[in-house]
Structure 1
């Protein structure tokens, strides 16, 4: 169950990052919104990397 939740969160992060990138290509956005989206994108990328690191170490523990 926990593994599935993690995979779902990673997939959701990918979707949001792709959506963010498409928004940037489509139209210029309000600077405040753009900054907030950049923060969200960064946070999701950090979260995705953290899960990969956890999985890496978890594989050695098992």
Structure 2
């Protein structure tokens, strides 16, 4: 959750990408990062709409 989309994507691509394929057959890196960020955004809590909210502090 606290890792950047680029670092997540780099880990996946290192293990799964086939460097022998032509570059045109691979998806665009910037599009993959944007898509990753959009999917991660759905898991984030909504921003508060007023000043009446609780702050939950977790010791990690």
Q: Could you tell me the TM-score, scaled by structure 2's length? A: 0.33
Structure with more of its chain in helix, by fraction:
1
Q: Could you tell me the TM-score, scaled by structure 1's length? A: 0.33
